[in-house]
Structure 1
Amino acid sequence: MNKEEQVIMGLRDLYDKMVWLNKDKIDDRLKGYNSSEVHCIEYIERNVDPNVTKLAEFFYMTRGALSKITKKLIKKGLIESYQKSDNKKEIYFRLTEQGKEIYQIHEDLHKEFQERDQAVFEQITEEQFDSILSFVKKYSRHLDAEIKKQGISIKS
């Protein structure tokens, strides 16, 4: 296996281990909510005037798929829609009190997982962080270009 393959396999392995380690706690504390719903709640809380288009672009999903998720979240009482007085066409979302509770549980879990893994990050030098971040940015830009080259559109 060459170094490129080792990097890709290593990243997948890390991701799979994180998911496996975190799964039981997430399932226990966020029972009844899937990952897409929870991350949609997170995005809505952290962004100004989130709408289906912004959500779809962020999650690399179709507007139709995100529309289904937001309808589920509204039905569950986690988010509500609103319109601005100067733009009655566009529909935006915000969290309800129940949605804010789910957001906080998710944030607490992230903090717990971050604390668990802090020992590793304490050993990383600034230069190593810079190298890792540089690689991630380059690879992400490459994948963005490939997506664009293939004419894949998330807007449908």
Structure 2
Amino acid sequence: MKNKKMLKKLVDIFQLVDILNKNGFENEYEDLNINETHTIDFIGKNIKNNSSEISKYLNITRGGATKIVKKLLEKGYILEYSIEENRKEKYFNLTEKGMKIYEKHLENHRKAEERDSQIFENFNSKEKEVIDKFLEILKNDLKKKVKN
């Protein structure tokens, strides 16, 4: 099989995943976009969750993370607090409303993983090793490109 033909299939897959994710978010998460939902997820999972940590996690600027945090505060999904040792630094907790989204997001990921992992049942162990190697190489290549 030609490299260009395989690359075209890979691009098609990325586009379909993007469409699937967008459709899922529009149907599942009311007034939230994907970055806002992933910020809620990050805050739910992490104690140290200031704007700097959120920006690293989402791979966006600190200013971008600050805008997301501001929207989530306005929408009532998170609360802001500071600690005694450093009153200047702001940290975040989920409100009850935010916790519902966090739990829903965890459940949606669990269901998607269960549903989507079944595709690998079509392959034997040797084929799975090749697929795993390919996915690892692809992931590392994409990480390098994201850094640049």
TM-score interval (norm. to shorter): 0.7 to 0.9
- Residue 69 of structure 2 aligns to a residue in which SS? helix
2:105 — aligned with what?
106
8 Å CA contact 2:48–2:91 kept in 1: the answer is yes
Counterparts of 1:87 and 1:30 in 2: how far apart (Å)?
34
Using the aligned pairs only, state the percent identity: 32
Aligned-CA RMSD value: 2.5
1:136 — aligned with what?
138
TM-score by length of structure 1 reads 0.77
8 Å CA contact 1:26–1:109 kept in 2: the answer is no
Task: State the shift of 1:75 in Å.
Answer: 0.8
Please tell me the residue identity of whatever aligns with 1:136: L
For structure 2, the 5+ residue unaligned runs are none
Q: Is the alpha carbon distance of 1:114 and 1:80 closer, same or farther for their aligned partners in structure 2, counting shifts above 3 Å?
A: same
Task: State the shift of 1:51 in Å.
Answer: 0.9
For structure 1, which segment, 24-33 or 73-82, has the greater mean C-alpha deviation from structure 2 after superposition? Answer: 24-33
1:43 matched to 2:45: no
Counterparts of 1:79 and 1:89 in 2: how far apart (Å)?
18
Please list, as runs of the form range in 1=range in 2, the aligned pairs for 1:45-84 lying within 5 A after superposition: 45-84=44-83
8 Å CA contact 1:44–1:50 kept in 2: the answer is yes
Counterparts of 2:34 and 2:144 in 1: how far apart (Å)?
26
Counterparts of 1:87 and 1:7 in 2: how far apart (Å)?
52
User: Looking at both structures, which has the greater relative contact order when contacts are Cα pairs under 8 Å and sequence separation is at least 6?
Assistant: 1
Aligned residues: 145
For structure 1, the 5+ residue unaligned runs are 148-156
- Residue 48 of structure 2 aligns to a residue in which SS? coil
TM-score by length of structure 2 reads 0.81
For structure 1, which segment, 80-89 or 135-144, has the greater mean C-alpha deviation from structure 2 after superposition? Answer: 135-144
